Amino acid sequence: MVGTLFNIQRFSTSDGTGIRTVVFLKGCPLNCAWCHNPESKQNKPEIFYNAGNCIGCGECAVVCPHGQHVIETTTHRYLREHCTACGLCANACPSRALEKCGKTYSVDEILQEVVKDRPFYEQSGGGVTLSGGEPLFQWDFCLDLLKKSKEEGLHTAVETCGYTKGDIAELHPFVDMWLYDIKLLNEQDHKRYTGVSNEQILHNLHRLDVLGANITLRCPVIPDVNATKGHFTALKNLANSLQNLKEIHLEPYHPLGVDKAARLGKTQAYDRAEFLNKNEFEDLARELQDAVSVPLVIL
């Protein structure tokens, strides 16, 4: 069994307890307007093109089997229409204007990388975190990786939006910590900004809570979308309805996804260019902290 990844990040300290290795899986059933990792949406390799790095050497045009790179006098045009993301152009590019994003790994290949840092996990209380994209999008691979991680004695965490028709209770015995994304709590707004209903998301969250799961809510804060009194009140009510909630994490919007989308030949629906400073929502955060019994952390 193999899965498609876009990154393995080591020595992370913000994706669960302790020092962690984060395995980022490609593929996501949501289409968030502000997506911070647009390269994670499709469950297949893609090609980043950074025009500013291109030196016009033409090596990509020489090796591309589908004629997707056209070198003109002063311009390199990347057509993409028939691109299969084979990566030959990226391998040939001397200036890294072209980069392949996405690679298949077996579960054993991932674990070989993860266990290299076992001493750091043991000293810090860390482990492996599955993220994305949406890791549950690759359900069978995710389940196998979690099972084998536990066989290795590793602490496991899953960062998920919870949108899956798989039985989330099947994963529960192999997950020590759930980092559960909550985008919007108004269903119509959720459909508008992510493309899907939040009904299944909330159902799975409460299912995990009944099972006694260790839950941290992860909540992006997006200006003009959910940085509102109404959303934070709904977030308070949700938090207070959970018996096994340990923390709430607020994740201020950042615009890095806008540039990454452009390098994939795409356009973000939400394209604010400025980072969101925590000072812009500190009153909402303070009111939320005062209304819940668990710690609130701004990442």
Residues 6+ apart with CB under 8 A from 178: 157, 158, 160, 208, 213, 214, 215, 216
Domain stop point among 101, 118, 146: 101
pLDDT band at 135 (very low <50, low <70, confident <90, very high): very high
Are the C-beta atoms of residues 38 and 268 closer than 8 Å to each other?
A: yes
Residues 132 and 202 in one domain: yes
Q: What number is the average pLDDT over the span 58-75?
A: 93
Residues 6+ apart with CB under 8 A from 29: 134, 137, 163, 164, 196
Dig out the tokens for 202 from the structure: 């909330």
Residues 73 and 220 in one domain: no
pLDDT tens, residue by residue, 83-97? 999 999 999 999 999
pLDDT (0 to 100) of residue 11: 97
pLDDT (0 to 100) of residue 254: 96
pLDDT (0 to 100) of residue 73: 80
Residues 91 and 197 in one domain: no
The CATH code of the domain that includes 51 is 3.30.70.20
Please state, in angstroms and rounded to a whole number, the distance separating the CA atoms of residues 90 and 19: 32
Residues 52 and 172 in one domain: no
Q: Within 10 A of 34 (CB to CB), how many other CB atoms are there? A: 23
pLDDT tens, residue by residue, 141-150? 999 999 999 9
Residues 73 and 93 in one domain: yes
pLDDT band at 209 (very low <50, low <70, confident <90, very high): very high
Residues 86 and 142 in one domain: no
Residues 56 and 138 in one domain: no
Whether the predicted pLDDT of 79 surpasses 80: yes
Share of the chain above pLDDT 70, in %: 100
> For residue 230, is the peptide bond before it cis, meaning its omega torsion is within 30 degrees of 0?
no
Domain stop point among 84, 101, 118: 101
Residues 61 and 85 in one domain: yes
Whether the predicted pLDDT of 123 surpasses 90: yes
pTM for the model: 0.95
The one-letter amino acid code at 189 reads D
Residues 208 and 89 in one domain: no
The one-letter amino acid code at 48 reads F
Q: Which domain holds residue 135?
A: 2-43+102-298
pLDDT tens, residue by residue, 187-199? 999 999 999 999 9
pLDDT (0 to 100) of residue 36: 94
DSSP label of 149: H
Residues 38 and 62 in one domain: no
Structural domains counted in the chain: 2
Residues 124 and 86 in one domain: no
pLDDT (0 to 100) of residue 140: 97
Could you tell me where the DSSP H helices lie in the chain?
59-63, 88-92, 107-114, 118-124, 139-151, 187-194, 199-210, 229-241, 256-263, 282-291
Whether the predicted pLDDT of 46 surpasses 90: yes
The CATH code of the domain that includes 217 is 3.20.20.70
The one-letter amino acid code at 157 reads A
Residues 32 and 82 in one domain: no
